[in-house]
A and B are shown apart, each in its own frame.
Chain A
């Protein structure tokens, strides 16, 4: 895997949202949505971000596409720093990177037919003749499995799984190199989830795509990704090859998260590490390691100093003071 070219290089990304208060809407604080996130995505690879709600995984996904401006940090795509690009060149860049949203019920315009929905990205990014457009639409409907007879229908006439296919078609019609899939299957039923996951994996093979896959479903992540990053309160606490992380989780949070997956078999005996309390608010993150007030192994240093990510095994990074030498 390592010989493949790095497509996305994200370095020390930070995204804060201002909290406005008072009559004059003065900034009274910041929501620390993404605190310090670094990762790399190689070509033809699926990198997953997993974590509980509010940990900043979706914000990370949107920030690296510059849909949200980062507060700090570098986003290098294919050798170019995206933050340095002006508006026009960024717009041109966007055809290479697309986004599939979570909720296929609200992400498609109800007043556009499927054909219009699919034409829209083509009109935005390319100047094509009607015949060329037709050809592209024919190609993509076949690739994602939409019945070409349904092109004149409106989104409400489709089921959730079909709509998610339309969303995927819309993202892929510009032939991007990179797709952010933000919880693409969470709104779907299990049997439909499996269909969409298979489709995403097929398309990756055929179109040589790289994915950033964002999900809170640990089983789905394990199934689809090559490498995984576990996020907690705006930081990646553990990152590595998927099987390394799942079979040998080192960070106490990852261990607790994995033990919380409901068992797949009623006869299975499972020891559960129980986490007390809730995720702290990102508007007021705790000092030191963000996880220290829920951690069973908490030490004195944890509440004072933020742990650095260190490489414990090749390619397996953990940010925890337990592994300080």
Chain B
């Protein structure tokens, strides 16, 4: 396997009792994450981007379940492939926080208010290493310095409420990176922060990625964050990947009408006081997806075919995949 992580045909079910079939919250997700790649996942709320990544970590909350036929394969540090779906909880614990770790959106709620920063960093170490207490102290101190926290020695003894949002997010990054993971999942790491702090955190993450051999999956709804940090992007809409390409292609050779609408409705610089472009209507709720293209009733270029048949995700150019009938004539054979 040449990819670090391969997701094949991932679906996530919301069971509805014995009589009804489950609602598919996401369906048919195929993603490949390369080593040392910065992968962006972008979409509006409710499109399934966060639960997809929770599934990678085995963190789906009850009653959500990974559907039948899904596969998430991860190559661990020994070069061995592992199937994450259906893995025993004890095995998962060995991977989580060690090979794959995660940064959450709200640093204020993700840290435990009852423990000091040092205790929380050490927790990650004590699970996965056999360091002595003194060694752990040194390791966490060094890590805090790497994420550029001033007065690191003092901060170790502080509790989360002593620190500001930006500082806490740095602590979260320190905890996530302390075991030198091969994959880091960042779920909206800067959404709760101010712009100047967001800029600091994004710069820090870019710098750290250079010095670690870590792939990053950046989940966000902000196209600016994508432009700033990612190399490859998948656009999610209503539980499906609608477009996947390199970041330059997404911004400059946009293929899918939804991506285009998303880019155009961003309040861009320089067109002040003009009417903004809007995508009409709302995201359909899970369970009410049409059998055709899920974007059809909001699309300006909707055709008859779109309403009845769901387009497949096909490669329209090398490394540029799109799920839209507009781009499919001729490409069908290739797929």
Contacts and interface: CB of A to CB of B under 8 A. Distances in A.
A79 interface: no
A258 to B, nearest CB: 9
A274 B196 CA distance: 8
A262 B262 CA distance: 16
B195 A257 contact: yes
Given A159-B282, A194-B277, A267 B266 contact: no
A109 interface: no
Given A223-B267, A272-B203, A262 B44 contact: no
B228 A262 contact: yes
A262 to B, nearest CB: 3
Interface in B236-276: 247-248, 251-252, 261-262, 265-269, 271-273, 275-276
B198 A194 contact: no
B222 A267 contact: no
Contacts of B175: none
Given A267-B248, A272-B203, A219 B279 contact: no
Contact of A198 (B198, B248, B262, B276): B276
Contact of A190 (B44, B202, B272, B282): B44
B276 A192 contact: no
B269 A219 contact: yes
A265 B251 contact: yes
Given A216-B195, A272-B203, A264 B44 contact: no
B219 to A, nearest CB: 14
Interface size class of B (residues with CB under 8 A): 35 or more
A4 interface: no
A222 B269 contact: yes
Contacts of B275: 198, 201
Given A191-B265, A257-B195, A278-B197, A264 B224 contact: yes
B224 A263 contact: yes
Contacts of B302: none
Contacts of B262: 190-191
Given A159-B282, A256-B196, A275-B196, A266 B272 contact: no
Contacts of A217: 267
A198 B230 CA distance: 30
A257 B196 contact: yes
A243 B272 contact: yes
A258 B37 CA distance: 29
Contacts of A222: 267, 269, 272
A222 B282 CA distance: 25
A292 to B, nearest CB: 16
Nearest to A46: B273
Please indicate which of the listed interface residues A190, A268, A279 has the most CB atoms of chain B within 10 Å of its own CB: A190
A192 B198 CA distance: 23
Contacts of A219: 266-269
A192 B282 contact: yes
A112 interface: no
A260 B278 contact: no
Please indicate which of the listed interface residues B223, B262, B273, B277 has the most CB atoms of chain A within 10 Å of its own CB: B273
Contacts of A197: 267, 276
B269 A278 contact: no
B278 A263 contact: no
Contacts of B224: 261-264
A194 B267 CA distance: 7
A237 to B, nearest CB: 14
B331 interface: no
A218 interface: yes
Please indicate which of the listed interface residues B203, B262, B269 has the most CB atoms of chain A within 10 Å of its own CB: B269
A220 B224 CA distance: 13
A262 B227 contact: yes
B199 A194 contact: no
B45 interface: yes
Contact of B252 (A242, A267, A275, A277): A267
A278 B167 contact: yes
B44 A53 contact: no
Interface string B193-207: 011111110110000
B268 A52 contact: no
B53 to A, nearest CB: 18
Contacts of B226: 266
A267 B249 CA distance: 11
A189 interface: yes
Contacts of B160: none
Interface string A1-40: 0000000000000000000000000000000000000000
A293 B195 CA distance: 18
A285 interface: no
A266 B44 contact: no
Contact of B267 (A52, A161, A220, A272): A220
Given A195-B278, A264-B227, A189 B247 contact: no
A218 B194 CA distance: 11
Given A261-B195, A278-B167, 17 more contacts: A159-B282, A191-B265, A198-B275, A216-B195, A218-B195, A219-B267, A219-B268, A222-B269, A223-B276, A224-B273, A262-B224, A262-B228, A263-B224, A264-B269, A267-B251, A275-B196, A278-B166
| For the complex of A and B, 3 pairs with smallest distance between CB atoms | A262-B224, A260-B199, A194-B265
12 contacts: A191-B279, A194-B265, A194-B279, A198-B278, A201-B275, A218-B195, A222-B267, A222-B269, A262-B227, A263-B224, A265-B227, A266-B247
